[in-house]
Structure 1
Amino acid sequence: MQYWPLRPGSSEHRFNIAHTANLFARVGQNRSKFLAADLLQVIGSGVPLAQCTIFAYPQRRNAEVFSFADRAREVSLPAISHKYVQRFFGLDGNQQVMSQSHCVTNTIVQRQSADDITHPEYRRICYEQPQIAERVALLTHCESNRWLSVNFYRGREHGRFSAQEMNYLEALAPLLIQAVRLHYHAHLQANELPLLLAERVIKQQHVALTLREQTLLRLMLSGLAVEDIAEHLGVRPVSAATYVKRLYRKLGVNGLRELFGLTTQAQWALS
């Protein structure tokens, strides 16, 4: 297993401008299901690839499959991806990369072959069964200590990535990573906005909240009334109101308006 900070590309390969334009034009259109396929189209035939899978690694949660695409392999990629996030992601070499703080500010390139994997079931299900020779992962750190991993899988029929092909992937990597970050951020805003805002508040105020306080914060940022918060927490409205006031004090704000203000500061614009 190898990894290194992304290097400046010097490839002379061309890529399809129309596919690239579509990739960015579709941000916010809830197209995460097709994002991996779009990346394969941008890369084109310059680098033969079998599969592309994009994983998200939220803090203290299992890995999540964000998007996947398969170029006519004889196995079910959704099933393999599901088994990976349920059983094997902790064994992935990219966990070593993501655990190192000096990697946070960079895009990291990681190469992993079947020979690098000692766990027999992980190797069999994720590499031998789909006949994968090698994987290249582009790892980027995002808001609220999330990581994204854009994984490109090489079929055995094409062997390992050549130096020229690696140079081409690294040349395209900044464009691909930025597109994935934008699509993922749009996905969070559309599907997990209260959680995203709560994570911003916690990071901004440098406070440690209990699990119950984190749940309460998400409910407050969902715009729920005290009565609805009480129902979700299983307490009386008067108790919920007390919990809300205590949390405001702990966060150092005077009300919901100031709370939302913490989540919309300029520092979050390009996270």
Structure 2
Amino acid sequence: MGSAAVEPGDSSSVLAPMVLAIGRPSFSQVLMDTVRAVAGVGHCMVFALETERTARCALGIGHIDIGPDLGAAYSEHFHLSDPNREAILRQRAAPRPIVLPSFARRMYSDSYRKIFFEDAEIVDKIAAAIWVDSACFYVNFYRTAEQGRFSRNEAARLCNMAPAITAIVARHCQEEVVAEAPTKLHTLFSTREPFLKLTGREKDVCLRILSGYGSEAIAADLGISLHSTFTYRKRAYEKLNISSQNELFAIALRLMALPRSAH
């Protein structure tokens, strides 16, 4: 199998294409190519957990035909019965990725096993998660019946690289918030709490922060002083009850994940 060529010492070169693909349409395929090379992964799904009661499928790729159905089912209600849920919530304050407990079918309810393991023919999985402020990115790597379970070496390689892969996936999902649509961001800032609390200039600064502008670039783009830029940012963060750029990203992620009818 192609994964045998990947050794732990090769991780930097193996992950480099993923880093370069962050924020680009090719990211999903590059991710799949990477985990297939590392451990023969057959399907990958990423869920964004923005609150304790909501989840959305942020990414799904591989050769499970009903993958989109699985993503929808998990997002609608199965995330509440996921046996990894408690372990994920306990790590909310952890600043680093975590690899979840080993897979065992008995951990799951009958209805969960029916759709995810019998209908989808999933026979094994390895999962990891990382919290970025109030949002958690939960990355699942699956093997199907046709492939068989992960070998001991494949599992070891994937578990070794899963934290770095998960962090890269989280950054890509954050980048997608911006790439998904400046117009959508503008709509959120003009129609949704908590952004309605901000003045026009405070919104201008926050929108540019989300678009990747540094402080000096924001000042130049808006034609204001660097001191004014810092002041508007500070005031905006105080009104939003946040203290960092990552928290601003988390708010935008959460609002973009809401159903269209809720906007």
Interval of TM-score (by shorter of Structure 1 and Structure 2): 0.5 to 0.7
2:248 matched to 1:259? no
Rate the CA distance shift 1:224–1:178 in 2: closer, same or farther, 3 A: same
Partner of 2:27: 35
Partner of 2:58: 66
Number of residue-to-residue matches in the alignment: 208
**What CA distance in whole angstroms lies between the structure 1 residues aligned with 2:199 and 2:48?**
23
2:245 matched to 1:268? yes
Partner of 1:162: 151
1:43-81 CA distance string (max 9 Å, x none): 23441222100110002442111111022x3x3211121
Partner of 2:114: 124
Partner of 1:134: 124
Q: Residue 194 of structure 2: SS of its match in structure 1?
A: helix
**What CA distance in whole angstroms lies between the structure 2 residues aligned with 1:43 and 1:129?**
23
Partner of 2:87: 97
Give the gaps of 5 or more residues in structure 1: 1-9, 198-213, 226-254
**What CA distance in whole angstroms lies between the structure 1 residues aligned with 2:151 and 2:137?**
24
Given that residues 36 and 54 in structure 1 are in contact (C-alpha distance below 8 angstroms), is that contact kept between their aligned partners in structure 2? no
Q: Residue 146 of structure 2: SS of its match in structure 1?
A: helix
Given that residues 99 and 162 in structure 2 are in contact (C-alpha distance below 8 angstroms), is that contact kept between their aligned partners in structure 1? no
TM-score (norm 1): 0.63
Given that residues 11 and 164 in structure 1 are in contact (C-alpha distance below 8 angstroms), is that contact kept between their aligned partners in structure 2? no
1:113-149 CA distance string (max 9 Å, x none): 33321x2221111111111112211111112x21111
Q: Residue 63 of structure 1: SS of its match in structure 2?
A: strand
Residue pairs, 1:96-115, within 5 angstroms:
96-101=86-91, 104-110=94-100, 111-115=102-106
Q: Residue 36 of structure 2: SS of its match in structure 1?
A: helix
Given that residues 44 and 60 in structure 2 are in contact (C-alpha distance below 8 angstroms), is that contact kept between their aligned partners in structure 1? yes
**What CA distance in whole angstroms lies between the structure 2 residues aligned with 1:133 and 1:78?**
18
Quote the offset at 1:266 in angstroms.
8.2
Give the gaps of 5 or more residues in structure 2: 1-5, 203-230, 250-263
The amino acid across from 2:104 in the alignment is S
The amino acid across from 2:55 in the alignment is A
Partner of 1:88: 78
Partner of 1:52: 44
Rate the CA distance shift 1:167–1:88 in 2: closer, same or farther, 3 A: same
The amino acid across from 1:26 in the alignment is A
Alignment RMSD (CA, Å): 3.7
Partner of 2:195: 218
The amino acid across from 1:127 in the alignment is F
Q: 1:25 aligns with which of 4, 15, 20?
A: 20
**What CA distance in whole angstroms lies between the structure 2 residues aligned with 1:57 and 1:222?**
30
Quote the offset at 1:12 in angstroms.
4.3
1:16-56 CA distance string (max 9 Å, x none): 94x74432223233x3xx53432221123441222100110
Quote the offset at 1:189 in angstroms.
3.6
Partner of 1:176: 165
Q: Which structure has the bigger radius of gyration?
A: 1
Rate the CA distance shift 1:135–1:44 in 2: closer, same or farther, 3 A: closer
Identity rate, percent = 21
Quote the offset at 1:175 in angstroms.
2.9
Quote the offset at 1:174 in angstroms.
3.5
Given that residues 15 and 165 in structure 2 are in contact (C-alpha distance below 8 angstroms), is that contact kept between their aligned partners in structure 1? no
TM-score (norm 2): 0.65
